Structure 1
Amino acid sequence: MGRAGNGSSFILMISLLALVAAVAGAGRHLAAADIDASRVGICASAVAIHGYKCQEFDVKTDDGYILNLQRIPQGVAADNSTNRPPVLLQHGVLVDGVTWLLNSPKESLALILADSGFDVWIANVRGTRFSRRHVSLDPNKPEFWNWTWDDLVVHDLPAVIGFVHQQTGQKIHYVGHSMGTLIALATFSEGKQIDKVKSAALLSPIAYLSHMNTALGVVAAKAFVGEITSIFGLAEFNPKGEAVAGLMKFFCAQPGVDCYDLLTAVTGKNCCLNASTVQLFLKNEPQSTSTKNLVHLAQTVRDGVLRKYDYGNPNYNVAHYGESKPPVYNLSNIPHDLPLFLSYGGQDALSDIRDVQTLLDALRSHDVAKLHVQYVKEYGHADFIMGVTAKDVVYNQVVSFFKNYN
Structure 2
Amino acid sequence: MPKKGMYCSVPTKDGIQLKMRRYTPAGGDVAKNPVILFHGVLANKHSLDFGDPDDKNQNLKELWDTYSLAAYLSQEGNDDVKFDVWVPELRGRRSFHSFSCEYPDMPEPPVWCVDDYIEKDVPAIIQKVQETYARERKEKDSNSPVKVFWVGMSMGGMLAYAYGENKRDSRNLMGVVTIGSPISFKHTGSFLIELASRILAPRRISVTINLGKFLNNHKKIKNEFMENIVSKSTIDKDVMEEYITLGFDNDISSKVLSQFAVFFRHNNFCRYPRRPWAYDILDRIPLVKRRIGPHSYTEELHAFETPLLA
Report the TM-score, using the length of structure 1 for normalisation.
Answer: 0.56
Label 1:303 to 1:152 Cα distance change in 2 as closer, same or farther (>3 A). Answer: same
What residue number does 2:138 align with? none
2:292 to 324, 330, 334: 324
User: Secondary structure of 1:260's match?
Assistant: helix
What residue number does 2:88 align with? 123
1:161 to 126, 135, 139: 126
**Contact 2:185 2:263 survives alignment (8 Å):** yes
Quote the offset at 1:144 in angstroms: 2.9
Q: Deviations over 1:167-217 (max 9, x none)?
A: 12421111000000111111112335211110011011222222289xxx7
Quote the offset at 1:224 in angstroms: 9.3
Return 5+ residue gaps in structure 2 as ranges.
51-62, 76-80, 135-145, 280-289
State the distance in 2 between where 1:187 and 1:271 align.
Answer: 36
Quote the offset at 1:154 in angstroms: 0.7
Label 1:263 to 1:167 Cα distance change in 2 as closer, same or farther (>3 A). Answer: farther
Label 1:70 to 1:219 Cα distance change in 2 as closer, same or farther (>3 A). Answer: same
* RMSD of Structure 2 on Structure 1 (CA): 3.6
The amino acid across from 2:270 in the alignment is: R
1:275 to 225, 237, 240: 237
**Contact 1:182 1:205 survives alignment (8 Å):** yes
Q: Deviations over 1:15-56 (max 9, x none)?
A: xxxxxxxxxxxxxxxxxxxxxxxxxxxx99xxxxxxxxx400
State the distance in 2 between where 1:202 and 1:58 align.
Answer: 24
Q: Give the length in aligned residue pairs.
A: 263
**Contact 2:200 2:258 survives alignment (8 Å):** yes
**Contact 1:97 1:122 survives alignment (8 Å):** yes
State the distance in 2 between where 1:272 and 1:127 align.
Answer: 29
**Contact 1:88 1:175 survives alignment (8 Å):** yes
Quote the offset at 1:85 in angstroms: 2.9
User: Secondary structure of 2:117's match?
Assistant: helix
1:79 aligns with 2:27: yes
Quote the offset at 1:303 in angstroms: 0.2
| Identical pairs, percent | 22
Report the TM-score, using the length of structure 2 for normalisation.
Answer: 0.72
Label 1:108 to 1:222 Cα distance change in 2 as closer, same or farther (>3 A). Answer: closer
The amino acid across from 1:122 in the alignment is: V
What residue number does 2:254 align with? 291
State the distance in 2 between where 1:305 and 1:225 align.
Answer: 16
The 5-angstrom pairing of residues 191-340 of structure 1 reads 191-211=167-187, 218-219=191-192, 221=194, 225-228=198-201, 233-239=205-211, 259-262=222-225, 265-266=228-229, 269=231, 271-286=233-248, 287-310=250-273, 311-312=275-276, 323-329=291-297, 330-335=300-305, 338-340=306-308
Q: Deviations over 1:65-91 (max 9, x none)?
A: 2100000011xxx41767743100000
State the distance in 2 between where 1:112 and 1:92 align.
Answer: 19
Return 5+ residue gaps in structure 1 as ranges.
1-42, 45-53, 253-257, 316-321, 343-406
State the distance in 2 between where 1:275 and 1:156 align.
Answer: 33
**Contact 2:30 2:84 survives alignment (8 Å):** no
